[in-house]
Structure 1
Amino acid sequence: MLANFLIGLREGLEAGLIVAILAAYVVKIGRRDVLGRLWVGVGIAVAVSLGVGALLTWGPYALSDEGGELLGGILSLVAVAMVTWMIFWMGTHGASLSGELRGRVDAAIDRSWIAIVVLGAVSVGREGIETALFVWANVSSGSDPVQGTLGALLGILVAVALVWGISRGLVRINLSRFFTWTGVFLILVAAGVFAYAIHELQEVGVIPEFGGPAWDLSAVLSRDTWMGALLAGIFNFTPAPTWAQVIGWVAYVVVTLTLYLRLLHRRHTSTPAAAAPAATAPAEVPADAAPSRRESVAPSVRSA
């Protein structure tokens, strides 16, 4: 539940900040007439995300056991790839996100009314589909479906409340630090989903077994114990992993975490120390795009 809560919180906060930036900029340039189109696009994104979640939940029931395992393994790999891409994308584009979104709004307004709808749908839909796919993969790998879904919904609700508070200057949060540490945590969660994908693909013979389990901790740390259930729910822990799962988990964590930490180091060293107090947080509306406190998305938020 905790892992899905964090997924819902991070993705919901990112999507909410994107919507707030788009809405604030549209108001700033005096084009309130296109706000309705923007909300139509956001509504379409939400509907598509819910549809993807429903399809992932009920679709596999029509498949055989082998077909379900193969689909589960493939979609879990897709989920890991999407979340990994999301973590690195936010690490590289977070600081310039506001300017990029404002440029897209200008371009969409110049084209046609439908372009604003598409902009809202694409900007939010990506986050929604990522959330649906990753939550499904996490739940399918052993988490309780009800608790996992409730955790994700709770995270999204908390994200909505935070965005509302930030946009009105009621909440101060270091978004840069938040996205940095949740990125590290999600790498560990994604590693567990990656190991689950390997297991499913081994079940259908796509990946060879490579002998028996690497070890077996079922006697002391089975999923029936509170600690085993907690680790399984958060990190997809299994007490008797295969060697392929162990190698895959270690390789993913070492490679991804190393690249991510290098990205953070480059971002930190490339920012002059004197400019650090004035640096804007990811997804913040700059001062020139937010003349009033009510129209600003996060005028008081600073990044580390």
Structure 2
Amino acid sequence: MHTRLLKRGLSLISVFAAVFVFCGTWLHLQVSADAAYYHAFNDYKDAGGSTATWNDIANAIDDVLEESYRLYEEGGQNGDYKGDGQWSAYELCRDSYNFWYETCGFERSVNGYSGSEVSKAELQFKTARKAVKAGESLDDVKAKFSALSEILHIQANHLDGLGDTGASGLTFGAGGSDAPAETDAAASDDEQQTTAVTTVTAGSNAIPTSGGSNSAATFLSCFLIILREGLEAILVVGAIIAYLVKSGNKDKLIHVYIGSVLAIAASFVCAWLLSLLKLANTANQEIIEGVTALVAVLVLFYVSNWMISKAEADTWNKYIDDQVKASAETGSVFTLAFTAFLAVFREGAEVILFYQPLLKDASSTSWVWGGFGVGCVVLVFVFLAIRFLTVKLPIRPFFLGTSILMFVMSISFLGSGIKELIEGDVIDMTSPEWLQNLIPFNDTLDVLGIYPVLETLIPQLILLLITLMIFVMQKWKTKNKNEAGILAILFGGLGAHKFYLGKYGQGLICVAFCWSFIPAVLGIMQGVHYLTETDEQFEEELQPKPKKSKNNKQPKKSPAAKKS
């Protein structure tokens, strides 16, 4: 009896032991699987992950992409990649950009030597996310993940001083990530850290290493960041100030200066809020930057066409006479000040967020401020050259040059603004291979905001066509109701009739809402109206409505006066 009970007890213990061993093994495997990658760079760093070289960071991002692919593969075992696994894979792929590439300083460091390389990586991150979200085949997702990993390792090798070549580190479950060919995988930790000190080049200082930071690289990176981002704002603000001086409105310069100073203050506030709300390096930051850029496009385009309309000498002289009588209009001054505000604010918050991690490293603080200071000095010289040299130009070249500058800036802002919205997953991306072969990634095109993406190129081409159309229309001295009517019916959705009549603000509103087809419907109605009214009625509509003067308002009669 006792023997039987003992046997049963031993059997139960054996079963419990087997279950315990199984659960423990399963739990260990789960923990190991979780530890194979880190959701964010900060978690990786807190866990003691290696940051000796940029290839260490690229390998860690590879681990995140490997896990994303594993989730995607598991979620699509039934042939349908539309389940929870797909969404988890998408989120992880998205976070590999937001919480790794941007957060760890990779993007900032690459931006220190090539802005186009940053754009290439950003758009490839988007391509990879799009493939997962669209439920593409495993082979297609593999190819796009591998292309992304290759770009990251090429950039890592450049930052590590190992040349400008590299290969994908992804194995998709076939084994651990291969060490870069240029490094010795068998080297000891001390040897690898020593190599990092002697070979790592510009940009590596964003991540502290045991060998310290590269002071010259920090200085150069900070100098290039403020120079590249600040140059656009300086060009716009300088052109506006030169215009006010040229038009005899020096007393209105204070408004532009106030707009610029407010933009700098707003940039600090925006950067602080993004950090406080933990929205920095997320889709929210990209959306804010994108929307700001698109608003700046509308204002810059309006100012550009307004300035080119003043290029003719007789038009300019008439404008000067009007200004002598009534000084600068409040609305015009506000528009110019607002343009200066947007030009400075557009990149201000991003520049501050770029500098924040660099300033946390006490050993490189002086080099950060040194690069920033020298960059600001260069920008001051650029501003002074625009401020004092351009005003000496004849009227026509001055306004044509200023207008062209504003237009180029609007094209650049339009492309970069839409790209920011693409990165924020607000807009989808279409980048066929033939277009990538036609428009390569290089720093010149990157500054102009031109990318091999249809969603950025098509709006830029539309803006270019509208500008050419306005330029041709301004050559027509007289406005014809039949021409206005035909333009309204055929191209009312793009505001062609408004630009033809010189109503640029209304034309821009039509362009901004052309996607809704409301401007097209209103254009047809206005076109019919123009064609059916008389010439006298048309001319009367074109006449500006007289403004009510505050000084000429009649005093209200008292009730007693009314009775009498």
Q: Is the 8 A contact 1:195 1:245 kept in 2?
A: yes
SS in 1 for 2:428: coil
Return the alpha-carbon distance in structure 2 between the equivalents of residues 175 and 141 of structure 1.
37
CA separation of 1:42 and 1:59: change in aligned 2, threshold 3 A: same
CA separation of 1:71 and 1:179: change in aligned 2, threshold 3 A: same
Deviations 1:34-91 (A, max 9, x none): xxxx5xx643552233112331355145231222111111111110000111012223
2:406 aligned to 178, 186, 204, which one?
186
Q: Is the 8 A contact 1:69 1:201 kept in 2?
A: yes
1:59 aligned to 261, 267, 270, which one?
270
1:10 aligns with 2:221: no
CA separation of 1:176 and 1:47: change in aligned 2, threshold 3 A: same
For 1:198, the aligned partner's letter is I
Return the alpha-carbon distance in structure 2 between the equivalents of residues 207 and 69 of structure 1.
12
Return the alpha-carbon distance in structure 1 between the equivalents of residues 375 and 349 of structure 2.
10
Return the alpha-carbon distance in structure 1 between the equivalents of residues 376 and 463 of structure 2.
26
Residue 424 of structure 2 corresponds to 204
For 2:304, the aligned partner's letter is I
Return the alpha-carbon distance in structure 2 between the equivalents of residues 10 and 125 of structure 1.
16
Return the alpha-carbon distance in structure 2 between the equivalents of residues 57 and 262 of structure 1.
43
Deviation at 1:15, TM superposition (A): 2.1
1:69 aligned to 274, 286, 308, which one?
286
CA separation of 1:150 and 1:81: change in aligned 2, threshold 3 A: farther
CA separation of 1:69 and 1:148: change in aligned 2, threshold 3 A: farther
1:103 aligns with 2:325: yes
1:237 aligns with 2:450: yes
For 1:130, the aligned partner's letter is T
1:259 aligned to 457, 466, 470, which one?
470
CA separation of 1:44 and 1:127: change in aligned 2, threshold 3 A: closer
1:160 aligns with 2:369: no
Return the alpha-carbon distance in structure 1 between the equivalents of residues 349 and 460 of structure 2.
18
Return the alpha-carbon distance in structure 2 between the equivalents of residues 188 and 153 of structure 1.
21
CA separation of 1:22 and 1:140: change in aligned 2, threshold 3 A: closer
Return the alpha-carbon distance in structure 1 between the equivalents of residues 378 and 300 of structure 2.
18
For 1:156, the aligned partner's letter is F
SS in 2 for 1:206: coil
Return the alpha-carbon distance in structure 2 between the equivalents of residues 184 and 48 of structure 1.
23
Q: Is the 8 A contact 2:267 2:345 kept in 1?
A: yes
Q: Is the 8 A contact 1:8 1:131 kept in 2?
A: yes
Return the alpha-carbon distance in structure 2 between the equivalents of residues 130 and 85 of structure 1.
10
The total of aligned residue pairs comes to: 219
SS in 2 for 1:215: helix
For 2:461, the aligned partner's letter is V
Deviations 1:179-201 (A, max 9, x none): 21332343233112112221222
Residue 460 of structure 2 corresponds to 249
Q: Is the 8 A contact 1:5 1:152 kept in 2?
A: yes
Return the alpha-carbon distance in structure 2 between the equivalents of residues 245 and 42 of structure 1.
34
For 2:319, the aligned partner's letter is L
Residue 298 of structure 1 corresponds to none
Q: Is the 8 A contact 1:15 1:124 kept in 2?
A: no
Return the alpha-carbon distance in structure 2 between the equivalents of residues 84 and 97 of structure 1.
20
Residue 534 of structure 2 corresponds to none
For 1:78, the aligned partner's letter is V
For 2:415, the aligned partner's letter is A
CA separation of 1:92 and 1:150: change in aligned 2, threshold 3 A: farther
For 2:388, the aligned partner's letter is A
Return the alpha-carbon distance in structure 1 between the equivalents of residues 271 and 292 of structure 2.
11
Q: Is the 8 A contact 1:87 1:183 kept in 2?
A: yes
Instruction: Name the larger-Rg structure.
Output: 2
Q: Is the 8 A contact 2:264 2:345 kept in 1?
A: yes
Q: Is the 8 A contact 2:232 2:343 kept in 1?
A: no
SS in 1 for 2:466: helix
1:134 aligns with 2:343: yes
Deviation at 1:98, TM superposition (A): 1.4
1:88 aligns with 2:298: no
Q: Is the 8 A contact 1:191 1:249 kept in 2?
A: yes
Return the alpha-carbon distance in structure 2 between the equivalents of residues 148 and 120 of structure 1.
35
Return the alpha-carbon distance in structure 1 between the equivalents of residues 303 and 335 of structure 2.
10
Q: TM-score, normalised by structure 1?
A: 0.57
CA separation of 1:6 and 1:43: change in aligned 2, threshold 3 A: closer
Deviations 1:167-216 (A, max 9, x none): xxxx4x21212221332343233112112221222233332334667733
Return the alpha-carbon distance in structure 1 between the equivalents of residues 249 and 388 of structure 2.
18
Structure 2 gap ranges (5+): 1-227, 356-371, 478-564
SS in 1 for 2:436: coil
Structure 1 gap ranges (5+): 24-37, 106-118, 223-227, 268-304
Residue 128 of structure 2 corresponds to none
CA separation of 1:98 and 1:77: change in aligned 2, threshold 3 A: same
Q: Is the 8 A contact 1:13 1:156 kept in 2?
A: no
CA separation of 1:221 and 1:242: change in aligned 2, threshold 3 A: closer
2:436 aligned to 201, 216, 221, which one?
216
| Comparing 77-86 and 62-71, the one that deviates more | 62-71
Deviation at 1:217, TM superposition (A): 5.5
For 1:237, the aligned partner's letter is I
Deviation at 1:258, TM superposition (A): 2.9
Return the alpha-carbon distance in structure 2 between the equivalents of residues 14 and 62 of structure 1.
35
State the superposition RMSD in angstroms: 4.0
Return the alpha-carbon distance in structure 1 between the equivalents of residues 379 and 401 of structure 2.
18
Residue 176 of structure 1 corresponds to 396
